[in-house]
């Protein structure tokens, strides 16, 4: 059976313990490979390689680092087919989605930060009268840790690694143990691109073992983490007393506000996608849908009709819209929320059942599920489900919908559908979230700041924000006569 090895100091190697974890293909519910079960010993080995590589990598010119990153981007593109198949097999997502979104975006991450680093500049402040000139040097931090989740495996892994490397750091990274395959394949791509040994080290294994070892390592000075809010809290508790730099991208429960004056057809088709893309397992999915009362009944009928057309099936079939959920425990968690919805008085307008797919009977498939709720404060509408489940309910006024939208502990993204410019400005300013999409969804320009407020995280990724995170600013003050 295929073994997923660590990638340390430019070479693939077995875990020190000699222990392996099962890696499942969620579309079949079968173990198909083994993952290195790494511990603090492997993380220490990775740290030492990264530490040794740091002086030389941090002294390369921005152009040299840029060239290497651009080579990695090109190699990801050249291997798109193989990487997309690996992602679909490991995660259960439709192959078409991996080909159109996950892998192209992983390549864009390297290409974007390869270019961005050549434009990254710092400020100078002259204090006229005091005869001083201040300038800022932005220096790489050293060895940094990058930890990513399973929903967009290579996409989010590279979203952290690319800016960290571009800024001149060396990296110890851990993908989710649930979806390690494309991170494993990335090692080979980095070697082929000529990334010097030890600059990027990839350690596999569980969060409490390998992940915790990275976060608690005294000399790994910055942690960039994307994952659940509970894990984020744990990481913050570990890292804060060591004064590490922390970037935390956490959970979401994003509202989708639909006003009657919107472009209805466009809204309807995008809302199907923002509800169920990637089986609803995107931190930015709009899982709480609020619809203005005058179009509520029409929306309900049309939305259910559109969602009925979605095909739940094998990720490798071209017409599949919704693949498998990532794991059995996750499927059970999502199903338990559907049960809870019924207990809370919710009405299942569509879906709610596990699906048996012919030829993949043990796979983790679930119907896209629409729940009409009575009270916006019910648990199903407040807690992150992270699956193909949305709630819907009507509203009458802007004030009312803003109150409901802002009622959750999360604040990652929000979507607003309206053609009224005044309303766009009023509502966007009052929504408690890091991102507001108006008449669109998941529209990403990589230069923009990305991140959440409240329990959705701390810090911003994207563009120069990411390069600022992965550098330390130093002020140099010169007095002249």
Residues carrying an active site annotation: 249, 283
CA distance 65 to 166: 6
Contact pick of 208, 329, 345, 359 for ligand NDP (by CB under 6 A):
208
- Taking CB under 6 A as the rule, does residue 108 contact ligand NDP? no
Of 195, 173, 177, nearest to 42 by C-alpha is: 173
Contacts of 150 (CB under 8 A, 6+ apart): 91, 175, 176, 178, 179, 326
Per-residue binding string, ligand NDP, 166-185, x by CB under 6 A, is --------x-xxx-------
Stretch in the footprint of ligand NDP (CB under 6 A) among 148-156, 164-172, 368-376, 464-472: 148-156
Contact pick of 15, 153, 187, 211 for ligand NDP (by CB under 6 A):
211
What is the nearest approach in angstroms of ligand NDP to the Cβ of residue 35?
Answer: 9
- Taking CB under 6 A as the rule, does residue 452 contact ligand NDP? yes
- Taking CB under 6 A as the rule, does residue 159 contact ligand NDP? no
Q: Are 379 and 272 in contact (CB under 8 A)?
A: no
Stretch in the footprint of ligand NDP (CB under 6 A) among 6-14, 187-195, 226-234, 347-355: 226-234
CA distance 113 to 56: 20
Stretch in the footprint of ligand NDP (CB under 6 A) among 98-106, 124-132, 207-215, 352-360: 207-215
Contacts of 416 (CB under 8 A, 6+ apart): 257, 259, 424, 427, 428, 431, 436, 437, 438, 439
What is the nearest approach in angstroms of ligand NDP to the Cβ of residue 238?
Answer: 7
What is the nearest approach in angstroms of ligand NDP to the Cβ of residue 133?
Answer: 39
CA distance 364 to 366: 7
- Taking CB under 6 A as the rule, does residue 150 contact ligand NDP? yes
What is the nearest approach in angstroms of ligand NDP to the Cβ of residue 228?
Answer: 3
| 10/228 with CB nearer ligand NDP | 228
- Taking CB under 6 A as the rule, does residue 386 contact ligand NDP? yes
Per-residue binding string, ligand NDP, 264-283, x by CB under 6 A, is -------------------x
- Give the Cα-Cα-Cα angle 59, 63, 67 (nearest 5 degrees): 110
Contact pick of 53, 86, 162, 235 for ligand NDP (by CB under 6 A):
235
- Taking CB under 6 A as the rule, does residue 255 contact ligand NDP? no
What is the nearest approach in angstroms of ligand NDP to the Cβ of residue 23?
Answer: 11
Output the CA torsion sign for 444, 93, 6, 9: negative
- Taking CB under 6 A as the rule, does residue 26 contact ligand NDP? no
Q: Are 170 and 50 in contact (CB under 8 A)?
A: yes
Of 154, 211, 190, nearest to 7 by C-alpha is: 190
Stretch in the footprint of ligand NDP (CB under 6 A) among 5-13, 42-50, 105-113, 221-229: 221-229
- Taking CB under 6 A as the rule, does residue 394 contact ligand NDP? no
| 205/351 with CB nearer ligand NDP | 205
- Taking CB under 6 A as the rule, does residue 313 contact ligand NDP? no
Stretch in the footprint of ligand NDP (CB under 6 A) among 109-117, 248-256, 291-299, 317-325: 248-256
Output the CA torsion sign for 96, 100, 103, 106: negative
Q: Write out the residues near ligand NDP by the rule CB under 6 A.
A: 147-151, 156, 174, 176-178, 206-208, 211-212, 215, 226-228, 231, 234-235, 249-252, 283, 384, 386, 412, 452, 456-457
């Amino acid at each position: 059976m295929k073994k997923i090895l660590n990638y340390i100091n430019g070479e693939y190697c077995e875990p020190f313990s000699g222990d392996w974890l099962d890696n499942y293909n969620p579309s079949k519910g079968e173990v198909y490979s083994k993952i290195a079960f790494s511990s603090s010993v492997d993380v220490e080995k990775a740290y030492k390689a990264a530490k040794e590589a740091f002086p030389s990598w941090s002294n390369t010119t921005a152009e040299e680092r840029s060239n290497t990153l651009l080579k990695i981007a090109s190699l990801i593109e050249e291997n798109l087919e193989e990487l997309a198949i690996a992602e679909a097999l490991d995660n259960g997502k439709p192959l078409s989605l991996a080909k159109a979104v996950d892998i192209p975006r992983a390549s864009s991450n390297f290409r974007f930060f390869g270019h961005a680093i050549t434009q990254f500049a710092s400020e100078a402040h002259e204090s006229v009268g005091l005869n001083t000139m201040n300038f800022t040097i932005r220096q790489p931090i050293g060895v940094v840790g990058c930890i990513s989740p399973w929903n967009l495996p290579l996409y989010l892994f590279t979203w952290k690694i690319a800016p960290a490397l571009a800024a001149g750091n060396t990296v110890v990274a851990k993908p989710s143990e649930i979806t390690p395959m494309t991170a494993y394949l990335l090692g080979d791509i980095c070697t082929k691109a000529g990334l010097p040994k030890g600059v990027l080290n990839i350690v596999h294994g569980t969060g409490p073992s390998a992940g915790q070892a990275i976060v608690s390592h005294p000399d790994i000075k910055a942690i960039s983490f994307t994952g659940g809010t509970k894990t984020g809290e744990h990481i913050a508790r570990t890292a804060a007393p060591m004064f590490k730099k922390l970037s935390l991208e956490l959970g979401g429960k994003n509202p989708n506000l639909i006003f009657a004056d919107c472009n209805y057809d466009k809204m309807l088709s995008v809302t199907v996608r923002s509800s169920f893309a990637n089986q609803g397992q995107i931190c930015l999915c709009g899982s709480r849908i609020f619809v203005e009362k005058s179009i509520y009944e029409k929306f309900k009928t049309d939305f259910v009709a559109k969602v009925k057309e979605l095909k739940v099936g094998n990720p490798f079939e071209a017409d599949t819209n919704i693949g498998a959920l990532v794991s059995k425990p996750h499927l059970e968690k999502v199903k338990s929320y559907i049960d809870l919805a019924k207990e809370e008085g919710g009405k299942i307008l569509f879906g709610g059942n596990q699906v048996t797919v012919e030829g993949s009977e043990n796979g983790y498939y679930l119907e896209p599920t629409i729940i009409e709720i009575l009270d916006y404060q019910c648990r199903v509408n407040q807690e992150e489900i992270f699956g193909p489940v949305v709630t819907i309910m009507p509203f009458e006024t802007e004030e009312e919908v803003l109150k409901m939208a802002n009622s959750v502990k999360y604040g990652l993204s929000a979507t607003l559908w309206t053609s009224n410019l005044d309303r766009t400005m009023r509502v966007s300013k009052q929504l408690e979230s890091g991102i507001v999409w108006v008449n669109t969804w998941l529209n990403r320009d990589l230069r923009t700041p990305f991140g959440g407020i409240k329990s959705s995280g701390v810090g911003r990724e994207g563009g120069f924000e990411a390069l600022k995170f992965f550098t330390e600013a130093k002020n140099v003050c010169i007095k002249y006569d």
